[in-house]
Structure 1
Amino acid sequence: MPPRKKHKNDIGALGGKAPSCSPPSDSIEEKSRLVSPRTRSRSQNVDATGADDEAQANATDPKRRNTRRKYGGAGTTSADAAVDVATGAQPSGLPAKPRGSVPKSCTADSDTIMEAVVKVFCVHTEPNYSLPWQRKRQYSSSSSGFLLPGRRILTNAHCVDHYTQVKVKRRGSDVKHVASVLSVGTECDIALLTVEDDKFWEGVEPVVFGQLPQLQDAVTVVGYPIGGDTMSVTSGVVSRIEVTAYMHGSSELLGIQIDAAINSGNSGGPAFNDLGECVGIAFQSLKHEDAENIGYIIPTPVIEHFLTDYARHGRYTGFPCLGVEWQKLENPDLRAALKMQPDQKGVLIRRVEPTSAVSEVLQQNDVLMSFDGVSISNDGTVPFRSGERISFSYLVSNKYTDEEAELVVLHEGSQRTVRVSLRAPVRLVPFHTRGLPPSYFIVAGLVFTTVTVPYLRSEWWF
């Protein structure tokens, strides 16, 4: 099992150990890791594809294979960079999305559905954090994506990380079309692309989204994983739905666990239900000596949040978080020490980030009792669906930046209600650089650069 994480309602990875797609530190000793395998070659040819050298090494070396978790889909984590970490229905208080009639484009026409799945080719050039004025040798990768209305293409953010050129190819075509990256959501591991060439869009039927699946619902993952050049289809069922660690974005958002195979190259590919509706995007898988056939897909609520955010602002602004660390209040002695009544429930605030949105209204040792009218239990969960509960951080990440939320807080035995304006996390040491090169300043022969997690992971001593 992966190391136990701290409890905190920040959507970022708990404990700050979830790296981005830059090379991981060899000093981080985790028995299992989530990584994002991708099909790639080290050629400098922008059209080069090929098998992932590291994925092949992991397949032939049991020791490496059994001590690593892999990004479930092809993406753009560097070959020598395996990225660490572990990652519905509407919760109570949120309107349920009704199941309407099945759109015409979502009938069981498998050929029509598969025509909307494309292969993504990307050339990456990662920054050299030790020599910030330089870049590392470029490499290429291949992954999957699918078409949306409005001449848009969805894929994973790690598939186009540090990109210099992106091309896409439709099923059955021998022509690669140059694509432009419109927006990258690092935390949710989603990227939005478009193609200007009108010929690319001729005769296409875009994908239609479905609602959050139920447990044991059948899903079919379509993409271009390692092992061949043509489209691959794998099937499975929904095993679990909960707040999951997104390893590329170092965040925690709603995720769906499935038992369908998700291999290097699958990243960015859609997962369909029996109605032909897309219910998620393949993005990572779990490789562990005690686990088999564990893959993860990004559910439609997270996808729709990303698309709505882009439509509102013309760019990706992120997922909000409270910016606090918390702990459960299941110990009756601790509850008594905090002057809680028997009918009162909540979680204990252990630390408040000084840059967080709630730094002026929450203090250490406060008890957070509810968020936006939804009561929080002593174990930090809220009602989700019939017979299910989920971490209350889902309520926070389900909001949009600059929206307000109402908190009920117990402070020294006195209950009060406060309102806060939510915003994306602002970290003193950022988990990722959002695809930008590192900034630096040279004076008197000394090089000064910004401290980031990718920079720390690039050094041998970290």
Structure 2
Amino acid sequence: MKTRSCFTLMGRALLVLAFSFCPLMTGRALAAESAAASASALENSVVKVFSTLRGPDPYKPWSKAAPQSVTGSGVVIDGHRILTNAHVVGYASQVQIQANGAGDKIGATVLAISRGMDLALLQVEDESFFDSHKPLPRANVLPDVRDAVLAYGYPTGGTSLSITKGIVSRIEFVHYNFPVSGLRIQIDAAINPGNSGGPVVAGDKMIGLAFAGMLNAQNIGYIIPNEEIELFLRDQAAGAPKGKPAMRDVTQTLENPALRSYLRLAKGVEGAVVMKPASKDAQYPLKEFDVITHIGEFPIDNQGMVKLNSNSRVRFQYRVQQLAKNGTLPLTVVRQGAPLKVSLPVSAEHPMLISGLQGNYPSYFIFGPMVFSRATTEFMAAPNGNAPMLYGMSFAGNPLVTRRGDAPDAEREELVVVAAPFFPHKLMNGYSTRFFSVIDSVNGVPVRSLAHLVALLRDQTDELLTFRFQQRDAELVVVPRKDMLAATESVLTDNGIRSEASPDMLKVWNQKTPAN
């Protein structure tokens, strides 16, 4: 009886003890369950993106490049949208997404795109997708160097979701796709092909979007931070995207003591020296040798940098996107020893003689066996990757090299090039192909643009046409006008080309008057 009572008492004690631990055990279980649910929701917000791309062919501007299948990553954000990289869906003829662990792909369309910042928004055809795939929260502050991060995505080497771990290595303000610049975060978590467009997370919030790794380097990956993403989203929400404003003035550092002496600067003056203002207009607020000491209220040091946070500095131009309002930027400069506040006009526009296609297909015009187009950065891909070709063009004084980076002027709105080798035809007998040559004039009239060239050819009545090219070693090409017109149709038929011109150039050509 005593023994039974003893065991009974012991059982009761153990039962009380067990119940006393129950809340603690339940709390831990709940915390673990909550963490697992959070991780599951995060992973459920990451999708794989499948794209079929049909990019331009700058050397056959009448056609598109062969279809290319690519994969990338994306992340669900607010507004029933998916955020990814522009290079994953640019020129896409078809886009599909696939959720983590799902067997089916869902059709999507490109809602908005910024090639400059390599960002794009997708719209999913089946809105019910978002019932079970919630947006991933975004942090509203930049991470600090050494913060731990996780990169989510679908890199090559497997089909399931990949998660890599690392830290923030540094934060910089750099060029993305010329002429656009922005903040870039470097991390040491692995970023491989296929990771592009996937979120990078610190804690339980996204801090940016993976967009690039570095070839021939280990543990170097780059992400686009949320600050840049928010600028993109706000710009799109405005209804008429304007892009990012930027300064176009050339500046240099103020570190060298001899330079400071030359400029007669007081000892305490720090900043960036204006070497070439963006405009020569007398009313333009910046002058050569002005020293920009402050952008807004932010001081600029002698390396042309401003404080980003306690651990980082970036180029002072970073502050333009924060401080520019209504197209103007507040600056403080020192001019001839005296401080001066100025309002600098800034814009996202940056006209160039050789500009990018920006998601469009090249304009062209076929005249007999000759193909004309405007010079673009895409057209320059071949010489850029061929040093001997680039050297030859430079030696000959080809404007594709000598005027690279120039702005348009009254004489040249754009450079017009022979965009392909001459089609085989007796009219071209004895002439070497002028592929990559820039048109200077037709019958002595300087060519300002591709549209101007088409109009000149449309309105000519002379029996012979003379084409001069803008380089030292270029021969003169003389052809009979009527025979060139007659040859155009057979050239198109022989080469399976649908139209003699892109729609915009065809519109110019069809303005031809009956008298001609």
Q: Given the two structures, how large is their TM-score scaled by the length of structure 2?
A: 0.64
Distance change in 2, residues 1:355/1:201 (3 Å): farther
Q: Which of 336, 344, 350 pairs up with 1:420?
A: 344
Distance 1:359 1:303 in 2: 35
**Matched residue, 1:342:** 267
**Matched residue, 1:386:** 310
**Matched residue, 1:46:** none
Distance 1:402 1:107 in 2: 47
Distance 2:161 2:325 in 1: 38
> Is 2:163 aligned against 1:224?
no
Do the aligned residues in 2 keep the contact of 1:129 with 1:458 (CA within 8 Å)? no
The one-character-per-residue Cα deviations of 1:135-173 (angstroms, maximum 9, x if unpaired) are 111111000000011111100011112211111111222
The one-character-per-residue Cα deviations of 1:160-218 (angstroms, maximum 9, x if unpaired) are 12211111111222222221111111121111111131232222211110121111111
**Greater shift in the superposed pair: 106-115 or 139-148:** 106-115
Distance 2:47 2:374 in 1: 37
**Matched residue, 1:281:** 209
SS of 2:215's equivalent in the other structure is strand
Unaligned stretches of 5+ residues in structure 1: 1-104
**Matched residue, 1:75:** none
SS of 1:292's equivalent in the other structure is coil
Match runs of 1:431-446 below 5 Å? 432-443=356-367, 446=370
Q: Which of 53, 58, 61 pairs up with 1:129?
A: 58
Match runs of 1:259-298 below 5 Å? 259-274=188-203, 276-288=204-216, 291-298=217-224
**Matched residue, 1:244:** 174
**Matched residue, 2:232:** 306
Structure showing the higher helix proportion among its residues: 2
**Greater shift in the superposed pair: 107-116 or 301-310:** 107-116
SS of 1:158's equivalent in the other structure is helix
**Matched residue, 1:215:** 145
Do the aligned residues in 1 keep the contact of 2:44 with 2:133 (CA within 8 Å)? yes
Identity of matched residues, %? 36
Distance change in 2, residues 1:106/1:413 (3 Å): farther
SS of 1:179's equivalent in the other structure is strand
Distance change in 2, residues 1:353/1:399 (3 Å): same
Distance 1:431 1:261 in 2: 33
Q: CA deviation at 1:387?
A: 4.3
Amino acid at match of 1:277: K
CA RMSD of aligned residues (A): 2.5
Q: CA deviation at 1:249?
A: 5.4
Distance change in 2, residues 1:183/1:431 (3 Å): same
The one-character-per-residue Cα deviations of 1:243-294 (angstroms, maximum 9, x if unpaired) are 2343x556431111111000110000001112x1000100111223xx4201
Q: CA deviation at 1:238?
A: 0.9
Distance 1:326 1:109 in 2: 48
Q: CA deviation at 1:444?
A: 6.4
**Matched residue, 1:361:** 285
Matched pairs, number: 352
Distance change in 2, residues 1:403/1:194 (3 Å): same
> Is 2:86 aligned against 1:157?
yes
SS of 2:233's equivalent in the other structure is helix
Amino acid at match of 1:424: A
**Matched residue, 1:145:** 74
Distance change in 2, residues 1:169/1:371 (3 Å): same
Q: CA deviation at 1:416?
A: 2.3
Distance 1:249 1:164 in 2: 25
Do the aligned residues in 2 keep the contact of 1:355 with 1:426 (CA within 8 Å)? no
The one-character-per-residue Cα deviations of 1:72-103 (angstroms, maximum 9, x if unpaired) are xxxxxxxxxxxxxxxxxxxxxxxxxxxxxxxx
Match runs of 1:191-202 below 5 Å? 191-202=120-131
Distance change in 2, residues 1:400/1:307 (3 Å): farther
Q: CA deviation at 1:366?
A: 2.4
SS of 2:309's equivalent in the other structure is coil
**Matched residue, 2:44:** 115
Distance change in 2, residues 1:374/1:408 (3 Å): same
Q: Given the two structures, how large is their TM-score scaled by the length of structure 1?
A: 0.71
Distance 2:318 2:374 in 1: 31
Distance change in 2, residues 1:194/1:444 (3 Å): same
Do the aligned residues in 2 keep the contact of 1:329 with 1:346 (CA within 8 Å)? yes
SS of 1:199's equivalent in the other structure is helix
SS of 2:49's equivalent in the other structure is strand
**Matched residue, 2:134:** 205
SS of 1:150's equivalent in the other structure is coil
Distance 1:191 1:375 in 2: 34
Distance change in 2, residues 1:400/1:137 (3 Å): farther
Amino acid at match of 2:225: P
Do the aligned residues in 2 keep the contact of 1:124 with 1:163 (CA within 8 Å)? yes
SS of 1:143's equivalent in the other structure is strand
Do the aligned residues in 2 keep the contact of 1:432 with 1:453 (CA within 8 Å)? yes
Q: CA deviation at 1:131?
A: 2.1
Q: CA deviation at 1:332?
A: 2.0
SS of 2:40's equivalent in the other structure is helix
Amino acid at match of 1:258: I
Distance 1:402 1:182 in 2: 26
Distance 2:135 2:101 in 1: 17
SS of 2:220's equivalent in the other structure is strand
Do the aligned residues in 1 keep the contact of 2:116 with 2:180 (CA within 8 Å)? yes
Distance change in 2, residues 1:455/1:153 (3 Å): same
Distance 1:326 1:106 in 2: 50
Distance 1:214 1:157 in 2: 26
SS of 1:265's equivalent in the other structure is coil
**Matched residue, 2:393:** none
Q: CA deviation at 1:456?
A: 1.0
Which structure is higher in RCO with an 8 Å CA cutoff and minimum separation 6? 1
SS of 1:453's equivalent in the other structure is coil
Do the aligned residues in 2 keep the contact of 1:271 with 1:279 (CA within 8 Å)? yes
Distance change in 2, residues 1:429/1:158 (3 Å): farther
SS of 1:287's equivalent in the other structure is coil
**Matched residue, 1:96:** none
Do the aligned residues in 2 keep the contact of 1:320 with 1:401 (CA within 8 Å)? no
Distance 2:215 2:138 in 1: 29
Q: CA deviation at 1:352?
A: 3.1
Structure with bigger gyration radius: 2
Q: CA deviation at 1:233?
A: 0.8
Distance 2:51 2:84 in 1: 12
Do the aligned residues in 2 keep the contact of 1:371 with 1:407 (CA within 8 Å)? yes
Distance change in 2, residues 1:138/1:387 (3 Å): closer
Distance 1:437 1:273 in 2: 40
Distance 2:349 2:274 in 1: 17
Q: Which of 222, 228, 243 pairs up with 1:318?
A: 243
Distance 1:269 1:453 in 2: 28
